[in-house]
Each structure stands twice: as C-alpha cells, then as structure tokens.
Amino acid sequence: MSHSEAEIRKHVRVYITVFIALAVLTIATVLASYFHLPLKQAITLALFIASIKATLVAAYFMHLISENKVIHSILLLTGFFFLLLLLLPAMR
C-alpha cells in the first residue's frame, strides 16, 4: 500500500477515534459485569462487546477494511475452521 501524506493524516484521526471507542467499550463491559446479569445474558453481552472491539482493531489498526482479497479469503477460510473448532465441545 502506498499512502499519500494526507491519507495517513486522515488515518491518524481514525486511529484516535477508534482508541477512544475501545476505551469506552472496555469501561462499558466492566461496568456491565457489576450488574450481575443472568449468566446467559452476561455471556452474550460480554462477547458482543468483545466482538465489536475486535472488529475495530482488526478493521482499523490491522487495516483489514482496506486490505486485499487474498488476505480476506485466508481469514474467511480460517474463520470457518475456527468456528468448527469452537463447535467441537458440542460433539458428543
């Protein structure tokens, strides 16, 4: 990726925004845990927030949002097998 200077400066602003979002979400998920929601809701909420944070990191810090198809395909394939691996405890 060749980046022009202006582009990178724009990137930097995005990084700061993402950073603030990550911090807010971290505080939100910690606060939510103090409410002692029922286990199912607590797990869903915690994983939901974690997924948003992960998406932000992957999309902006790791530049996945503007990444090439080949990387996306590798991750798609990996994601499929990753889910399969997570399903493994259900296999009895």
Query: What is the binding site for other proteins (CB under 8 A)?
Result: 1, 3, 5, 8-9, 11-12, 15-16, 18-19, 22-23, 26-27, 29-30, 32-33, 39, 42-43, 46-47, 49-50, 53-54, 57-58, 60-62, 67-71, 74-75, 77-79, 81-82, 84-86, 88-89, 91-92
Q: Residue 65 or 84: which CB sits closer to other proteins?
A: 84
Phi, psi dihedrals of residue 78, rounded to the nearest 5°? -60, -40
Q: Residue 65 or 79: which CB sits closer to other proteins?
A: 79
Q: Quick one: which of 1, 3, 57 has its CA closest to 25?
A: 57
Compute the distance between CA of residue 1 and CA of residue 46 in angstroms, rounded to an integer: 35
